[in-house]
Each structure stands twice: as structure tokens, then as C-alpha cells.
Structure 1
């Protein structure tokens, strides 16, 4: 049975005439009569009968209209819940993000969202190459991804992209290394040292290739790791140099110092990716706004 025809039956029970029902539901009286006839064919018994110049409900019509009242109440409740959902930031937002983005954004994001009643975040860490971040968009509300150089596939019209920040990629040196005394280093200075590199298909590999090109010298890669924490520990142990993101690497107590790379000045572009239709949800917009504020704070802190 069509819910709209049940609503017409309930209106007839309440208002007592086809004309009054038509005015209430904003259709013509003939349209009301047609819907009632269609409903009778669906249930197989007469639901209305003539009384003078008007229509009244039969006992079957009364029974069905009484039962349909519960449907109307349920629909009204569902409509109210849905309106609250689309008009206010409520529900669960599913976020996928790469590990160092988790270190940068998650503590502040969770703290910010605790101030929003009815909104919660389910975060999952992922570690993929930049071209694969769009593959996660179908299964998550928001995906934090990064690219070094052009991001393939991010211009898809079905994917909305909100730029958050450009994070410098610095040369990581062990404390006490001769180059640590320099404020900046050059490709020529670092090209002759051993390197702890990312996997060959990782975005950072493009920067290492540029170092080789500028220095006109091949790099000697002694180890490859995707996890920047492992890479940082090996740099601190003196096993080689590496390229690491500035905001989540180095610092006091790590045994590692970071130095900008002259001329090349590499960065990774961090963005929020999501399906275009998800961008209209207040809950998702609230998360994006919080991410934007945190990114601005990170950039101000340097």
C-alpha cells in the first residue's frame, strides 16, 4: 500500500469530505477520489460509501484508517529525526587518515568535537600512496590525504577537496652530524650520505629523485621504511639521512634535527577528501571546520 494513499484515507476520516481533504493535501477533489479508488483496488474491499452527496468510510475503511494512524505517527517521527539530522551536526562521522596526520590533527579534533552534543568521530589510520586516497572516499565520510607534487585523481567531480596545509619536508640528520650546524642544507651536501628512504612507490621518492638530479649524484639507499617513526629512530642512531615531515618529526629528545633543503624546498599538500554529497551534512561540515582551524594553528606555530 502506498503511504500517501493511506494518508488521504486518514484525512477523510478526520475531515469528513473529499473537498476538505483536497484542500488539506493541496490536490483536486478528483485526485483524492482517484487515490481512494486505487487504495480500494489494492486492499480488495470497499473503503468508502456514499452518504448523501459525500463519502464516508465503511467499517473496513475505518479499521484501515485507524491502523494507518500509527504509520502517520511513525512517519512524522522519522521526518522530525531526519530534519534534526540534516539541520544540526549530529551522528557519527567516519574519518580515515594517514598516521602522521593522526598525530597532527586527532588530539585537537577529538577535543573540539566533544563540545558538540550528539556528534561523535570514528577514526581509522591508513597508510597508502597519494593516488590511493580517493579509493577510501567511498567508505568514509572524510579522508585526510596528502600528495607530493600533482595528486592524481583528486580532480574527480565526485570528490570534494578541502586544502588544509602545506607541510615542509626537511632533511633529518642525527644530532652531532656536521651538517646539523647549518641552518639549511643543499642537495650536493646530502647526496653523498647513506639514506633511509621510503618505499619506491611512495610520494617522497620523487623528492629523492630530485635531490639526485640537482646534485648530479645517485643516492645510496641502505634501508626503506614506510613508517616515519622507524625511519626517525634509524636517523637518530646514525644509520643515514632521511626526508621527514616537519610538524611530526625531530625535536628535543628524539636525537634528530631537521634542516630545510635549499632550492628544492619540498612540501606535502595535506587535504580533506570527501564525496560531494557528504559535504552538505552539518556533521561533516563541523568536522571540516575543526580540521581547518587546527591546520591554521599548526601553520602559525611553524
Structure 2
């Protein structure tokens, strides 16, 4: 079987439609369909079937697509062996990360990358509303993801997951608030206050539901923003309380203080996600090693 046709089948499994595969692989939809038909003849079994207006993989197609992933890993490992033999890690690495991760990780990461000749890092800030970070690995080499609450479904067989950090999430109060000097706050203490929330389905939204559950009352969310700097400004102005990440929020002159939330003590898990074959590239491994080193040094901002 032709390796390139196997890769087309795998892309169909990952992206879900012939049109998406065509765009990603710079082919026409008809060329993608032809590749799939040829592979089907080589395999001797139906690999796709009609599903609504599109197509889906048959069980045989699913099995062969998984094998295509193994082939891609083997090729990446062979390429890594050759690159390691002839040269140091180099080339372009594309990184996607959510905004607060950019503030935590990117300055130190860029400094580390600049020290490796021939290595280029291109970073993009993204924060999918539904927390669908795994889907981003189709278009980026490394995706920095975060999740709050139950263990996220990042353990897909086609993904490599590298844990980076667990960051506490605190309650943000304006300086001078009656609870600002308390060592911690409880859900009952704060439930009656107005709140600055996040857009629906953001990873941290579930924490507001947990506060409601423990306090036994519904929170009054008066504004919703994804930008934590805007949230900080509104909290400092006395417009409401909020939940903010400890390592990138607050600090001297911010006008807010952060206090742990008793009982819940919430955290968000931060990890790097990659395709298995991408994780074998020397340039990607250098960037991931740097991310691990930087994450190990993370700590809270200097308090007001």
C-alpha cells in the first residue's frame, strides 16, 4: 500500500470529511476521493461508506487508519534518526496556546528557542470555546491545553500528552473588600456577590457551577469576558468577583487580591498536546523540553 494513500485515510479519520482533507493536504476533493478508491482496491475491503451527505470509515477503514498512524510514527522516528545523525534540531515549530499560557510560558520559551541555531518558533494564541484542544493538533505542531474539573479526554491514541503544570484557581476580590485580608474564602462567603464570569463553555465555567452547588444558590453573573486583564480591571473597579488563575493574575498595582477557595481548592491542568509522529521531531522535542523547564519554575505573581 502506498504510504501517501494511507496518510489520506488517516487524515479522513482525524478531520471527518473529504473537503477538510483536501484543504489540509492541498489537494482537490476529487483527488482525495480517487486516492481513497485506489487504497480500497489495494486493501480488498470497503474502507468508507456513505453517512448523511458525507462519508465515514467502515470498521476496516478505522483499523487501517490506526495502522496508518503507526506508519506515520515509524517514518517520523526514521526521519529523527537521520536528522540526529546529520544535524542538530532545526526548522519551524508551530505552537498554539491559550492567552494566559502565553503570558506564563512564551517569553522564556522564545529565549530558549533563540539559543538553538536554525530553530524557529511561530506561536498563535487560541482558546477554543468548547475546550476542544485536541482538534487543534491537526493544524499546529504543539497545542498548550488546559482543563478544569474531571480528567479531560486528551488520551486519544493518536495524541501524545505532556503534563506541564497544575495551576491553582483563586477568587479575585478588589483591594479593600471585607474578605481581602482573610486567608481563604468559602463559597457561602462569596455567593451573594455579583460575578464577572467567562463565556459559556469555557473550561473554567464549570467552577462557577461548583460554587453554586456548595453554596446552595445561583450566582449572579453580571458580565462575561474571556480576557483576564479585562476581568481584573472590573474586579478592581468593584463591579464583581471572579475566578482567576493564580500564576498570571493579581500582583502589585493590579487593584485586586487573590484568595484560595476553601473546600473546592480548584486547579486547572495544563498540558502540551501533539500528534504522535510530530512528537518524534527533534525540533519539537527541544521546544517541549523547554516548556517543561519553564513550567517547573511557575509561581504566583507578586502580590499587591
TM-score using structure 1 length = 0.70
Deviations 1:131-173 (A, max 9, x none): 3111110111100010012354311010110000000000000
How many residue pairs match? The answer is: 223
**Is the partner of 1:180 in helix, strand or coil?**
coil
**Is the partner of 1:178 in helix, strand or coil?**
coil
State the alpha-carbon separation in 2 of the partners of residues 298 and 290 from structure 1: 13
Q: What residue number does 1:197 align with?
A: 197
Deviations 1:84-118 (A, max 9, x none): 69863100100000000000000000001111111
1:222 has 2:222 as partner: yes
State the alpha-carbon separation in 1 of the partners of residues 222 and 85 from structure 2: 53
1:293 has 2:262 as partner: no
Q: 1:115 to 1:178 in 2, by over 3 A?
A: same
Structure 2 gaps of 5+ residues are: 1-78
Structure 1 gaps of 5+ residues are: 1-78
**Is the partner of 2:108 in helix, strand or coil?**
helix
Q: What residue number does 2:258 align with?
A: 258
Residues 78-117 of structure 1: matches in 2 within 5 Å?
A: 83=83, 88-117=88-117
Structure (1/2) with the larger helix percentage: 1
Q: What residue number does 2:30 align with?
A: none
Give the conservation status (yes or no) of the 8 Å contact 2:95–2:123: yes
Give the conservation status (yes or no) of the 8 Å contact 2:172–2:258: yes
State the alpha-carbon separation in 2 of the partners of residues 238 and 301 from structure 1: 21
Give the conservation status (yes or no) of the 8 Å contact 1:134–1:273: yes
Give the conservation status (yes or no) of the 8 Å contact 1:159–1:275: yes
Higher Cα Rg, which structure = 1
Cα distance, 1:301 vs structure 2? 8.5
Give the conservation status (yes or no) of the 8 Å contact 1:165–1:299: no
Deviations 1:240-263 (A, max 9, x none): 000000011111101010000001
Give the conservation status (yes or no) of the 8 Å contact 1:235–1:241: yes
Deviations 1:56-87 (A, max 9, x none): xxxxxxxxxxxxxxxxxxxxxxx9xx636986
Q: 1:287 to 1:92 in 2, by over 3 A?
A: same
